[in-house]
Amino acid sequence: CYLTKCPYVPPHEWNVDYPHLMLRAKAIKYKKGEVSTRDKLLTSTDIVGRLASIPVVAGMVNKANKTPAIRGLMEKQLRVHRDAVLPAYHSNTTRKRLKSHHSNNTDIQTAGRTMGKVALFATCYGNVNQPQLGEDLAAIFEHNGIALTLVDKEQCCGMPKLELGDLEAVEKSKQANIPVLAKMIDAGWDIVAPIPSCVLMFKQELPLMFPDDPEVAKVRDHIFDPFEYLMLRDKEGLLKTDFKRPLGKVSYHAACHLRVQKIGLKTRDLLKLIPDTEVNVIERCSGHDGTYAVKKEFHDISMKICRPVFNQINKAEPDHYASDCPMAGEQIQHGLDNGTKAEHPLGLLRHAYGI
């Protein structure tokens, strides 16, 4: 955090869990009704995504989000900052693109904790806002002999509602997702999701909220970040390194919700395997934090938090810059404002493979 002065840095005898202390405060505020309509709307990702991804509607929404007059009205009425980047919506979602996807891999090999078969939890953001992520992930996993299918059905993981303090909505999301994921795990599938926040929700937040639920624990133990999964396969010699294209200099922003998973910098480790590729890691917050950066009262602060990231990228003059979190990537791109585009490590890896 840009402004933090908290002296109780772990390990500390008081063991102060500051983020969850703040979440408890948010939950109390939510119960008291001290939450704005704007904040409820911004965290209703399933409803907004379902409506905004309807054919024709998606184009209208995307155009409106780039129209200065409409953004000015949104700032006045909803307190959504006129300069904040709002995500694009796609009617051709991940689930539509991969609906007829069938794996051709018959030689399924287990490796360590991995079964060699993954079910993709597309996530609400990955599904309607950046569906290319799912396509890139599917191509990479298939190239590495990993069978892939879609999770039978899914809802938002619940992270936006958790950060709002709406614990009842979090429980509803858990009740919708966990039985589906647990059933797929019982059938021999591992779970992967392309958004770090969603993986963190299943790995850490839901197990903390529901410590006695065996299905929550089962999902916790079988859900993976995509690069974590690939590097576990690499340990057993099952990662293909037949790269066709170098990436040159890459500035890689390690997303906060990925670092807190304590799995190491697996994205960096994999990208470094690509010949003639130099990876510079940036371990600083982008300041986006889901909905924080789009709010009128916080947007300028969020850009200030991200300034060290901008500075490191400008200094490095990379051929590519990327973040595991697509929202962080858009925030960085917005701050640089130099005509360059943020990429995702999955897209970079697919490019390197030439697939």
Query: How does pLDDT run across 215-225, given as a tens digit for each residue?
Result: 999 999 999 99
As its CATH architecture, domain 242-353 has: 3-Layer(aba) Sandwich (3.40)
Q: What residue ranges do the domains of the chain occupy?
A: 18-78, 94-232, 242-353
**How high is the pLDDT of residue 83?**
97
Residue 321 exposure: Cα atoms within 13 Å on the Cβ side? 28
**How high is the pLDDT of residue 5?**
65
Give CA–CA dist 183/105, Å, rounded: 22
pLDDT digits (tens, 9 = 90+) for 130-175: 999 999 999 999 999 999 999 999 999 999 999 999 999 999 999 9
Question: Taking the mean position of all CA atoms in its chain, how far away is CA 252?
Answer: 15
Give CA–CA dist 28/25, Å, rounded: 5
Q: How many CB atoms lie within 10 A of CB 249?
A: 15
List beta partners, residue 295. 80
**How high is the pLDDT of residue 6?**
67
Model confidence at 333: pLDDT above 70: yes
**How high is the pLDDT of residue 226?**
98
**How high is the pLDDT of residue 124?**
95
Reading the block at residue 2, the tokens are 């840009």
Give CA–CA dist 219/190, Å, rounded: 9
Average pLDDT, the chain: 95
pLDDT digits (tens, 9 = 90+) for 235-265: 999 999 999 999 999 999 999 999 999 999 9
Q: How many residues does the chain have?
A: 355
Inter-residue contact 220 to 202 (CB < 8 Å): yes
pLDDT digits (tens, 9 = 90+) for 43-97: 999 999 999 999 999 999 999 999 999 999 999 999 999 999 999 999 999 999 9
**How high is the pLDDT of residue 245?**
98
pLDDT digits (tens, 9 = 90+) for 180-219: 999 999 999 999 999 999 999 999 999 999 999 999 999 9
Mean pLDDT of all residues in 282-309: 95
* Secondary structure class of 257 (helix, strand, coil): helix
